[in-house]
Structures are given as C-alpha cells and as structure tokens.
Amino acid sequence: MFYVLFTTILIVVVLTAAAAACFFDPAVGKILSRTLGQDLADAWRKYVFFAIVVSGISGGVRQWSLQQYLPPAPGKGTTQLQLSGERWLLELFQAFISTLQSIAWVVLLFFLCAMLAYAIMRAVEYRREESGPRRHGDE
C-alpha cells in the first residue's frame, strides 16, 4: 500500500508542478525577452521552467512524512501508521499544497529579481536620455 501512495503522490506532484510551470511560462518568457533579449531568453526560459518543476517535486514529495508508513526498524519502539482513506486524502492534499508552496517561493524570487533588473534597466535608460547626445560645440 505504501508504494501505491508514493506513486500517487509522485504523479500528483509532477502534474501540479508541470501545470504551474506551464501557467507561468508565458510571463517568464516576456520578462526574460525584455530584460535579456530573445537569444538568451529562450535558454533561461527553459531553465526557469526546469527549476519550477524540480522545486515543486522536491517540495511536494515529503520523504520524512512518508517514512511513518514504513515498518519500524528492528530494535525501534515506534509503530507503523495504517493507511486509511482519511490519511490518503490528507497526504495527497499536503503534497499538492507543499508543491504549490515551493513553486510560489521560486516564482516570487524570480519576479523579485526580474523587478530589480527592470528597475536597473530603467535607471540606465533614464540616465542615457537625461545626458542626451552631446554635441561638440554645446559645451
């Protein structure tokens, strides 16, 4: 029964992470195209997609929580929890929420860095416009 739970959680987590990555992909692509240019944006877009999926999977599959359903090691006094319908529902819900929580942190970090890069680009553009084209005879 443990293997079925683990496989089900893994499927839920992978699907959730892939759906979230697909959801954020257009926004990430636009931001990267604006800040990095189209050539670099394509490579970085794939990397950000991969990072979202991996962080979602690693956050959603909680090994330490699943260990309580394994038989105790010899000599240990702990007992094995039984997998009931309620526990299945709670484990699947926790995996789903943990996946989204991990993805939310990655996406928040990405958008904060993108906002900082955008602010720096705007400041540089403003300084360029402010200084304007200097002519040799205007000094």
Q: Is the pLDDT of residue 134 over 80?
A: no
Q: Report if residue 12 sits inside a domain.
A: yes
132: alpha, beta or left? (left if phi > 0; alpha if psi -120 to 50): left
Is 55 in contact with 106 (CB distance < 8 Å)?
yes
Q: Report if residue 8 sits inside a domain.
A: yes
Determine the Cα–Cα distance for residues 110 and 112; give it in Å rounded to an integer: 5
For the segment 122-136, the average pLDDT, to the nearest whole number, is: 78
Q: Report if residue 96 sits inside a domain.
A: yes
Residues 17-63: tens digit of each pLDDT: 999 999 999 999 999 998 888 888 889 999 999 999 999 999 998 87
The gap between the terminal CA atoms of the chain, to the nearest Å, is 82
Q: Is the pLDDT of residue 118 over 60?
A: yes
pLDDT of res. 136:
60
Q: Which residues contact 139 (CB under 8 A, 6 or more apart)?
A: none
pLDDT of res. 130:
83
Which residue range(s) make up the domain with 6? 2-131
Q: Report if residue 88 sits inside a domain.
A: yes
Total domains, the chain: 1
Q: Helix, strand, or coil here: 20?
A: helix
Q: Is the pLDDT of residue 133 over 70?
A: no
For the segment 69-90, the average pLDDT, to the nearest whole number, is: 74
